[in-house]
Amino acid sequence: MRMREKKAVDDIRQQALIRAEQLSRDALSYMREAEAVETGLTTYERAKVRKQQILDYLGGSLQDWDDWRWQLRNRIKDAGVLADILGMGEVEKKRVEKVGKLFRWAISPYYLSLVPDDYHNNPIFRQAVPDIRELDEGGSLDPMNEALTSPAPCVTRRYPDRLIINVTNQCAMFCRHCQRRRNIGEKDRHAKSSDIAEAIAYVAENREIRDVLITGGDALLLSDQHLEWILGELHRIPHVEIKRIGTRTPVTLPQRVTPELCEVLRRYPPIYINTQFNHPLEVTPEARDACSRLADAGVVLGNQAVLLKGINDSPTVMRKLNHELLRIRVRPYYIFHAKDVRGTRHWQTSICTGLSIMESLRGHTSGLAVPTYILNAPGGYGKIPVMPNYILDMQEDVVTLRTWEGRVFEVYNQPPSNEEEFLPDQDEMTG
């Protein structure tokens, strides 16, 4: 008897070892591919060289570099300066100038420091520097119809219980794929305090609004005092349960996340911040430290990547990005399908590409590293989650499903009823 029991245990263990070997091969295959993907942590020494070059060119000090206001004042927005720093040719420079006449651009010294000497296909360079393909007239300047969903100054409302307050058009860097490039204009400008006050009053008057997103532009480019006023006013509205902030400063200007800012944020919980890391090269020591300061202040951090052709439209790159984000306490939240914004069609991938990436994540890595793939409905009708189809067939009694490995199973649509077995018989009822 004991021999049979031991053999049964050994058989089960052998099956478990075979299964573990299969899973190991899956993980090791990804790991071999991921070794070739650079991150901002592995390229740190290279970035330090570029950093010193930029400081020498601008006449700045290391102390200046850590001052977010200095970074803003010294954004690179002249094609000649950019060409000098990167060693760009005359044709490249003229193309930047030509695009710049139509779409504004600016790059923080910090973000530019991440661009290597061999920059042409570099994900940092391509997100920051104007591309001649932006002159393509296809697409819309306002694909989400935000102009038609503003019931009060600075407000965008597309959902029943939440809304956006747009507080500025300013960014540390004007991303080349930006969905709100129409708002950038020719100059930085924060929304008028009186307009923001009207937006807050609208929130107060509509008790169904429980969730307010403060964005722009980049909401963290307001001063600490201005931001505290907005957060404080919202915090005092009883039906506002959470405040959210949309910002890319942890990626493009991590110096903005100062201890003083974190103290402001700490005073008005709960605060959720969604940022936008699009490539592992953006996960630098500075970005990591900025996210740590925010997390230590009680802020809940999420990431909303945009799926961009040639940047992160690779299963390996996207998984590597999500792993790096979790290491710095940022939860991958969304992958946005690129919107059809004028001048950005060269960024757009097929929806099939996005679905392929989702297939490569689900089951192959932790659920924490699997965001939701989102396509925004044209005309501003909201987010549509798009996912691979794991339901192959649905009948009244049985559903046919497939797993992340492609195994097919049938499960009950609803459990079979055995209630009759437990109904009292006639004798019990009369006895």
DSSP output for 358-380: HHHHBTTB-GGG--EEEEEPTTT
pTM of the model: 0.93
How many Å apart are CA 323 and CA 37, to the nearest integer? 12
Q: Averaged over 258-265, what is the pLDDT?
A: 98
Region 365-376: mean pLDDT is 97
Check residue 238 and give its pLDDT: 98
Residue 425, pLDDT above cutoff 80? no
Place of tokens 């119809």: 145
DSSP 219: G
Cα 97 to chain centroid, rounded? 29
pLDDT above 70 as % of the chain? 96
pLDDT score, position 431: 52
Report, as an integer, the average pLDDT of 48-70: 98
Which of 262, 206, 263, 266 lies closest to 237 in space, CA to CA? 206
Which tokens in the block code for residue 329?
């306490």
The structural domains of the chain, with segments of one domain joined by +, span 44-133, 146-385, 389-431
Amino acid at 158: R
In the numeric block, which tokens belong to residue 22? 């299969």
DSSP lists the bridge partners of residue 243 as: 212, 271
> How far is the C-alpha of 269 from the C-alpha of 47, rounded, in Å?
35
Report yes or no: 212 and 244 within 8 Å, Cβ to Cβ.
yes
pLDDT at 221 over 80: yes
pLDDT (tens digit, 9 = 90+) per residue, 116-146? 999 999 999 999 999 999 999 998 888 878 7
Report the CATH superfamily, name and number, of domain 146-385. Answer: Aldolase class I (3.20.20.70)
Rounded to whole angstroms, what are the CA distances from 416 to 96, 399, 409?
67, 13, 17
Q: Which helix (H) or strand (E) holds 296?
A: helix 285-296
What sign does the CA torsion over 53, 56, 60, 61 have? Answer: positive
Residue 351 identity: I
Mean pLDDT of the chain: 94
